[in-house]
Every structure is written in structure tokens, then in C-alpha cells.
Amino acid sequence: MACGLFLSLVGLVWALLNHNNSAHTPGVLTETATWTLIYGASKQALISTFCSLIVGGACARAIHRRGRVFGKKLILATSFLAMVLPTTAAAVSLIALWGRNGAARGFVESVLPDGILFAPYGLGMVVLAHVLFNAPIALRVCLSALQTIPTPYMKLAANLGFGSRSYWQFIEWPAIRKSIPALFGLIFLLCFSSFPLVLMLGGGPGVSTLEVAIYTAIRFDFDLAKGGALALLQLVFASSAIILISWLGSLNWWTELNQADRIVRKDVRSMTSRIADGTTIFIYCAIVVLPVLSMVVSVNVENSARLFTRDVFWEALISSVTLGVAAAFLSTALAFLLADAHHKASRYGFMAPLRGLINISISIYLAVPSVVLGTSMFLALRGTADLFGAAFFIVLISNTLMCLPFASRLIFPKYSSVFNRADKLCLSLNIKGFDKFRMITLPSMRTEIGLSLGLCSALAMGDFGVIALFGSEQFRTLPWLLYQYSSRYGGGEAELLGLIMLGLALLKYFIFYTILRLPEIRKSNA
Amino acid sequence: MLEARALTFGGGPIPRHLINFQVAPGQIMVISGPSGIGKTTLLNIISGFHAPGSGALLWCGQNLLALPVWERPISFLFQSKNLFDHLSCRANLRFSFSTTGSVSTDQDRLIEDTLTDLGIAHLIDRMPPSLSGGEEQRIALARAVLKRDPVILLDEPFSALDAKNRQRALDFIKDVALRHSRAILAVSHNPLDATALAAEALDLSKTRIHS
């Protein structure tokens, strides 16, 4: 299976290369416009990464330092929410807040002098959107790292009378610095290869990414050769970045964030630190929580309720829900099969290359942006199949592959730990096949399976990558419809649709996570 | 002199206690009792990490309970992780003088002299992960000596040591108490430790109260 995954990617790369045998790739590479685009995307990604790290990291430190903060549960919940929030919905919400007639823009412009606030479309908006999505990742990684500080260190520091600077220099920074290079690399890659946010908020060619250029080349210029060449270029960039990130270290962003007890600290007492922590948490909430809240508040149900009378909405809703659920089950099932192979391979030293192949075959799909995947499929299948007729299955396959790295990260570690203990017992009792899954795997991994299904269904439902290329009058999804509405009608219906998408993402996550954990919940209540 | 007057604590999983004791500089007191009886909780109360139910804790007539952890004249040595692993022993010892870790040449020399005096000068530039449990404990004790806190609390100082290192640790603690005139309170499971240290004994199984 790992070979299959790997070969399917090789096939897609081959499709890109094969299509470019007319020496189009060197042409694209020597164009000044391409390098201007890469320079612009790098600059945008660099600014977005720094801002995300500062906002998320500072908020993590403030929460860790305070121990118990008002609204801490909400902040930790939003750190997860941003991962399932559909990007198109977030873009619509940001426009409602910070767009030309945005509520927040109106307030800030009435307070600040003219010309200080960023433009309604352009770099400022793109950076703000990227911080909305990536500051929560930085928060999770940094808070996870801070939670690994041994309690005796904190008590020793209190006993020695450490001040804020000493805590940071000798305890907090050493704990988080190991994660920073990989975290920086990951956020940079996500911002560099961003698609829907840049498309909807960039405001034109001045702020763009390779993904947007690929989409424009294929969808509007019908220049498949250019699209393929740019996709190949993006694939090289993204793969290099993933290899570099893996080399820089692993990131821990899945651990449960605890409601840690208050730890006695000298530096939390001063007014300066209280103001600093309060301001930091406020800025984080203004950037991350406010857009989510505004999605709820800004919807004018009376004006936008006609959305429910449109057939296209119901068609898109059914397509999206089906896609999300199917991709979630497929990616989770694939993750289980690969986890089993990985676990078996880890028993024998000589099977290390197989383990490596499995890891690469999964991680590589993290490196392939959905637009690149879509372009490759488009080029590979063109002429051999009815592309738009088979759009559902193409989007399903690509969404499943894109969810696979996330599902694997949730399933692999627990699967190994469960079967490191249960393997011999299963062998001696001859428990195998479905019985093994029913009696051992499912009861031990309810939380992980629920998380994987919930997260993947939300991710797959909200993705606006491949569908941007394959969406048509015959096949629509909610993100595709939202993009159409936001650009054509620009109003109430887009906002209601964004809210519905967020609600659906949360509902799916809640249903999967809760249903699978019901037996555990019943046990703990008994 | 460190004095506890009608100090009460406990509740929940820990039994309630009423404690009275006095420990003078140069004197050692061993706090013993079975697991879960509240030995470490008592050290946490004395050091300021937990609050007692009632009573007073006095040092030279001053009630320490009103002071935060960092203002109490107390050094606390935990069961493990008494040194920051990513800093050398020298850097760890510099915290005796300054929380920023920057010290004068004279203070650096004092660190070296103290370690020589305690017979552990060879450890000064080692990194904590390369030290044995006993060596780490001695460096942490040296920091307490350098910090000039008159009271030292030791949580299970002998639990991870083999017989040879245990004897060395006993001698070291006695030496610190007597030569550097420190009041030392040590938690231990082993009732023989009080005899070996020529110390007072506080058995928490005898201080329980019923509320």
C-alpha cells in the first residue's frame, strides 16, 4: 500500500513532467514574473510566519504563566477550531470584519488617523488571515512544549526568586526553542502555499502564491503547460521544505492541552506582567476568536434565508457532507492499514527501509498542495476520462490523500503502544482479523479514531483546492459555492453559508468524537 | 530557630495533622511516616508552595507564613531535577547570588572555594545529566550553602542512592548542618536515617488528628 501511495505520487509527477516535455518548464523558470511571484509569496509567508509565531507563542506563554485564565477553555478550544475552520468561511468572515465596510474597520478607523490601517484587500488582510489559522498552531506547539517543563524546575525557580526575564531565559525558552525551527518551517510552508485565502483576500496579482498562479493559468488562461510547470516548481519547493522540516525535528501539536494548576511564580504578581499577559491574550482573541464570533453575529438571517430555497445549496451540502464523511473513513482506514504495516516492520531491524517508505509515502502528501495534486490529476486523466463527470471521485481521492498525514499522526503512536503490549496476547489467544479490531483496537483507540474521523471529515469538507479546478455546474461543494457567492453576490448569503460550514465542521467533529467515546463516557458517569 | 506552632494541615487524601517542632541552626530533623501521610506536603507548607490550615511557622520570631516562597530563608531540594539540565554546575551554582546568572569574579571564586571545601570541586564544569544522583544532590546542597539560606529542606534525599552513596550523603548532610550552621529538615521513609544523622525525629503517624 505504501508503494501504491508512493507510486501514485510518482505517477502524478510523471504526468507533470510528461506534459512539460515541450521545454515549457525552463521557460517558466526564466520568466521574471515567476521569480517576482516567488519573491512576493516568500515575503508574505515570512511576515505571516513571524506574526503567527509571536501572537501564538506569546499567548501560550501568558496562559502557561497565569495557570488559570478567564476564558482559557475557550482559547484552547479555538486553537483546535482554527484547524477545522473552512478557509473560505474564514475569508468571508474577515471581509465582514475588516473589509471595506467591515465592522471592525469602521471602529478602528474612527479611532486611528487615516492611512494607518491596512487596506481592505492585499498583504495586510492575507497576513491577518494566515495569523488566524497559524497562531493557534503556534499556541498549541508552544503550550505543549511549556507543559513539558518539569514541575521541580518551576518550584526551584520560585524558590530561587526568578523574575520574568530569568524564567524566559533559563526555563521557558529552552523548553520551546527545540520546536521553533520546525514550527517556523511548517507555518512558512503553509503560508507560502496558501490558496483560498490569498485568492479571496489578496486583491490581485500584487499578492499571490504559486497555487493562485496555477489556478489562474488552468482555470482562466487555459494554459495547461504553464500550470503544469508551476505545479512542478511548487512541488519541488514544498518537498524540499518538508524534508527540511523533518530534519529540523518533530512537532508535538496533538497532545491534549491540560488545565494546569497554578504554579507559584514571583513574576505574575507585578502590574507590568498582568498588563502584558492581558494585552497578549486580548490580541490573540481579537485575531482568532473575533472572526469566529463575528460569523455568528453578522449573519442577517432574514436577508440570507433565501439560500435555503436554492437547489444548488442543497446539492452542494449533500456533496460536501458525503465527501467529508467518505474521505474521513477512507483516510482513517488507510491510516490503520499503514499503522499495522509500520508496527510489524518495526519489529525487525532489516525492515527499516519499509518503515521509511511508509513514513515518506504519508508525509509526502503533506508537501503536495491540493491545487498541485488537482493539476497533476487533471493532466494525468485528461483525455482518458470524463474529468468533470468523475469530479466527485477525483476530489474524494485527493481529499483522502491530503487527510492521510493528519489521520496517521493520530493513529500511529497509539496503535504502536497498544500492540506493543497486546501483540503476544493476541497471538497466544488467536485473536485476529475483525475480532482483533472489535475487541482490542476499537476499545483502546476510541478517542484517536473519533478525533481522526472528526478532523478529517471537517478538513475534507472545507477544502477548496482540487474543487477549485474541478467544480462545475454538475458538481459543486459548499466551499466552491461560498467562493462563487462571495465574489458574485458579496453579501448575506456568503456569510450564512460560512456559518453553516463552520457549524457542519463542528457538528461532524462532535458527532464522531462523542459517538465513539460513548462507552467511555457511560463508564465514567456510572 | 525554625519553629512550628500548632501548625495544622491535611484533608482529602492526606490525613489531618497538628504539628509542633523546633529546629535550631546546626540541627537536623528527620520527618518520617508511611507513604501518603503528608511528608512532602509538610515541606511544601514550610517552603511556601502550599498553605496550612492554621498555626504559625516562625523563624527568629518572624511568621514565615506571611511571606511568599522566594522571600522565605529556605532552600528546598526536591527528589530530583534540582539542577537545570541544560546549564553547567557552575551556571546552576551562580543562581545562589543572582537570578540572572551573572556574578562577579569574587562570587565565582567563592563558588570554587565552597566546592573545594565540600570536596566536590571536580564537578564544577560538568553538565547535570552526566552526574550521578548523589553528585547532583551534593551540588544542589552546595548551592543552598552558597545561597546562605539558614534552613534547608530535603525531600527523600536518600531514596535513589545505593548503600555507598547513601553513607556519603549522610556524612555530607551532617557536615553542612554542623560546619555551615544550617537547620535541616529531611523527609525519609527509613526510621534508621534519624539515628544515622544523629537527628531529631518527627513521625507523622503520631501527629494525626481527627477533625
Please write the tens of the pLDDT for every residue from A405-415.
Answer: 888 888 888 88
**pLDDT over 90 percentage in chain A:** 20
Residues A242 and A338 in one domain: no
Judge whether B19 and B55 are in contact, CB under 8 Å. yes
HSE toward the beta carbon, residue A240, CA cutoff 13 A? 8
Residues A197 and A284 in one domain: yes
Residues 6+ apart with CB under 8 A from A126: A44, A48, A194, A197, A198, A201, A202, A207
Residues A133 and A172 in one domain: yes
Judge whether A120 and A102 are in contact, CB under 8 Å. yes
Indicate the residue type of A110: S
C-alpha cell at A55: 501572537
Choose one of A259, A277, A298: the last residue of a domain: A298
A121: β partners: none
Of the segments A102-116, A305-319, B152-166, which one has the largest average pLDDT value?
Answer: A305-319
**What is the domain range of residue A441?**
301-526
Chain B CB contacts of A170 under 8 Å are: 84, 87, 101
What ipTM describes this predicted complex? Answer: 0.90
Indicate the residue type of A336: F
Q: Is A148 on the interface with B (CB under 8 A)?
A: no
Judge whether A375 and A227 are in contact, CB under 8 Å. yes
Please indicate whether, in this complex, the C-beta atoms of A163 and B99 are within 8 angstroms of each other.
yes
| Residue A15: how many other CB atoms lie within 10 Å | 20
Chain A CB contacts of B82 under 8 Å are: 152, 156
- Tell me, what's the pLDDT at A259? 53
- In whole angstroms, give the CA distance from residue B139 to residue B120: 8
| Residue B75: how many other CB atoms lie within 10 Å | 27
Residue with cell 458579496: A490
For B13, phi then psi, to 5°, come to -70, -20
- Tell me, what's the pLDDT at A318? 92
Burial, A115: exposed, middle or buried (Cβ in 10 Å; 0-12, 13-18, 19+)? exposed
- In whole angstroms, give the CA distance from residue A83 to residue A505: 10
How does residue A2 score in pLDDT terms, banded at 50, 70 and 90?
Answer: low
Question: Is position A251 within any domain?
Answer: yes
> In this predicted model, what pLDDT tens digit does every residue of A78-118 receive, in sequence order?
777 777 788 888 888 888 888 888 888 888 888 887 777 88
Chain A CB contacts of B144 under 8 Å are: none
**pLDDT over 70 percentage in chain B:** 99
CA distance, residue B186 to nearest chain A CA (Å):
17
- In whole angstroms, give the CA distance from residue B36 to residue B32: 11
Chain B CB contacts of A166 under 8 Å are: 99-101
Q: Which spans in A346-432 are helix H? A: 352-367, 370-381, 391-429
Residues A336 and A283 in one domain: no
Which of B49, B68, B100 lies closest to A266 in CB terms? B68
Q: CA of A481: how far to CAs of A129, A312, A459, A488, in Å?
A: 20, 8, 16, 10
> In this predicted model, what pLDDT tens digit does every residue of B96-121 receive, in sequence order?
999 998 899 999 999 999 888 888 88
Question: Is position A1 within any domain?
Answer: no
Please indicate whether, in this complex, the C-beta atoms of A170 and B84 are within 8 angstroms of each other.
yes
Question: Is position A64 within any domain?
Answer: yes
- Tell me, what's the pLDDT at A16? 62
Closest by CA to A236, choosing from A187, A193, A207, A194, is A193
Which of A152, A160, A264 lies closest to B99 in CB terms? A160
Least confidently predicted of A145-154, A255-264, A338-347, A414-423: A255-264
- Tell me, what's the pLDDT at A19? 61
- In whole angstroms, give the CA distance from residue A154 to residue A349: 40
Q: Is A158 on the interface with B (CB under 8 A)?
A: yes
* Domains of chain B with CATH codes: 2-206 (3.40.50.300)
Residues A292 and A406 in one domain: no
CA distance, residue A32 to nearest chain B CA (Å):
48
Judge whether B192 and B164 are in contact, CB under 8 Å. no
- In whole angstroms, give the CA distance from residue A209 to residue A196: 10
SS3 A498: helix
Mutate to test the interface with A, among B47, B50, B81 (most CBs of A within 10 A): B81
Question: Is position A26 within any domain?
Answer: yes
CATH number at residue A349: 1.10.3720.10
Residues A127 and A198 in one domain: yes
- Tell me, what's the pLDDT at A10? 65
Closest by CA to A454, choosing from A343, A359, A332, is A332
Q: Nearest residue on chain A to B85, judged by CA atoms?
A: A153
Q: Is A161 on the interface with B (CB under 8 A)?
A: yes
Q: Which spans in A441-491 are helix H? A: 442-444, 446-462, 466-470, 478-488
Closest by CA to A304, choosing from A121, A86, A482, is A482
- In whole angstroms, give the CA distance from residue A79 to residue A82: 6
pTM: 0.84
Judge whether B29 and B185 are in contact, CB under 8 Å. yes
| Terminal CA-CA length for chain B | 29
| Terminal CA-CA length for chain A | 42
Count of domains in chain A? 2
Chain A CB contacts of B81 under 8 Å are: 150, 152-153, 156
Judge whether B134 and B169 are in contact, CB under 8 Å. yes
Question: What element of type H or E holds B55?
Answer: strand B54-59
Choose one of A271, A298, A325: the last residue of a domain: A298
Residues A285 and A386 in one domain: no
| Residue A128: how many other CB atoms lie within 10 Å | 19
Rg of chain B over Cα atoms, rounded to whole angstroms, equals 17
Chain A CB contacts of B49 under 8 Å are: 155, 158, 264
Please indicate whether, in this complex, the C-beta atoms of A158 and B82 are within 8 angstroms of each other.
no
Please indicate whether, in this complex, the C-beta atoms of A156 and B78 are within 8 angstroms of each other.
yes
Judge whether B175 and B142 are in contact, CB under 8 Å. no
Residues A62 and A201 in one domain: yes
Residues A310 and A458 in one domain: yes
Task: Provide the pairing of β-strand B14-23 with B2-11.
Answer: antiparallel
Residues 6+ apart with CB under 8 A from B78: A152, A155, A156, B155
- In whole angstroms, give the CA distance from residue A468 to residue B41: 61
Residues A79 and A215 in one domain: yes
Mutate to test the interface with B, among A160, A167, A177, A267 (most CBs of B within 10 A): A160
Choose one of A278, A298, A318: the last residue of a domain: A298
- In whole angstroms, give the CA distance from residue A173 to residue A194: 29
Chain A CB contacts of B147 under 8 Å are: 160
C-alpha cell at A408: 496517521
How does residue A520 score in pLDDT terms, banded at 50, 70 and 90?
Answer: confident
* B8 φ/ψ sector (left φ>0, alpha ψ -120 to 50, else beta): beta
Task: Provide the pairing of β-strand B28-32 with B54-59.
Answer: unpaired
Mutate to test the interface with A, among B64, B65, B78, B92 (most CBs of A within 10 A): B78
Q: Is B78 on the interface with A (CB under 8 A)?
A: yes
C-alpha cell at A461: 469538507
Q: CA of A346: how far to CAs of A243, A356, A414, B54, in Å?
A: 22, 10, 14, 57
Whether residue A430 has pLDDT greater than 60: yes
Residues A59 and A176 in one domain: yes
Chain B CB contacts of A171 under 8 Å are: 84
Task: Provide the pairing of β-strand B54-59 with B14-23.
Answer: unpaired
Q: Average pLDDT in the B32-38 region?
A: 88
Please indicate whether, in this complex, the C-beta atoms of A165 and B75 are within 8 angstroms of each other.
no
Indicate the residue type of A32: T
CA distance, residue B141 to nearest chain A CA (Å):
13
Q: What does pLDDT average to over chain A?
A: 82
